[in-house]
Amino acid sequence: MPDVRQLRRQMVDSQIAARGIAGPKVLDAMKEVPREIFVPADMAKHAYEDSSLPIEAGQTISQPYIVALMVEAAEIGPEDEVLEIGAGSGYAAAVMSRIARHVHAIERQPELAILARDRMAALGYGNVVIHTGDGTQGWPENAPFDAILVAAGGPAIPRPLCEQLAKGGRLVIPVGDADEQRLIRVTRSDADDYREEDMGPVRFVPLVGAHGWKEDAG
C-alpha cells in the first residue's frame, strides 16, 4: 500500500472537507484513525476509497463522509460521554474516541464486538468500551449521554435512546424504511422537550431490535 498517512490526509481533504465538513476536531480525528485497521485484510487496499466496504458478519463499514457527517452533527466535545448504536468494525467509535471523554458502543453481532475490542486494544484507545446487546434499548447503566449516534436505520426513533440523552444532548439517527432513511438530529431541551432536525437522505442497514426492525427485516 502507498503511505497510509498520505491516503488518510487525501481522504479528509477530498471526501470530507471538500463536502463541507469543517469542524477541526472531526477532521483531525479522521486524519488520525487508521481506517485500514477496521476492515478485513483483503479490503485494506480499499480503506480510503469514497465508499462503504464489506466487513465481517455480512455487515458494512460506512463511507468516510457519512461517519464524519454524523460525528459533526452530534457536536461532540472533549468532556462528552457518547453512546454509539451499531459499532460494526469499531471505526466510528474510534473516531469519536479521539474527540470525546468516553465512548460506549453497542454491537449486536458478537463476532464484530470481539473484533472491535481487539482493534481498540491494539491501537491503545482505552476510552472506548464495546458492549454486545440490543442497541435499541440503549445502555442505561451509563446514561445520561451527551451524544448518541445510531449507525443503522430504524422505522422510528427508539424512545429509550431519547430518554438516555442528557439535557442538551444530541441523538443522530437514520429514520425511514429499510431501503432509504432521513438522517434526523434530536436535541433534548428539557425533560420532555425534544427538537428534531432533518439533515437529508441517507441509506443504512436496518436497525434490528426491540425498538427497531424485526430480525428478518430488510
Q: Ramachandran region of residue 117, left (φ > 0), alpha (ψ -120 to 50) or beta?
A: alpha
Other beta carbons within 10 angstroms of residue 36's beta carbon come to 17
Kindly report the number of other CB atoms within 10 A of residue 210's CB atom. Answer: 11
Which amino acid would we find at residue 34?
P
Q: Which residue in 62, 89, 97, 189 is the catalytic one?
A: 62
> How far apart are the C-alpha atoms of 10 and 16, rounded to whole Å?
9
Quick check: 162 and 188 in contact, CB under 8 A?
yes
Using CA atoms of 102, 202, 218, 128 in order, give the dihedral in degrees to the nearest 10.
-10
Which among 155, 104, 92, 175 is positioned nearest to 133, based on CA atoms? Answer: 104
Q: Which amino acid is at 72?
A: E
Residue 62 is a catalytic residue: yes
* DSSP H/E element including 180: none
Query: What are the residue numbers of the active site?
Result: 62
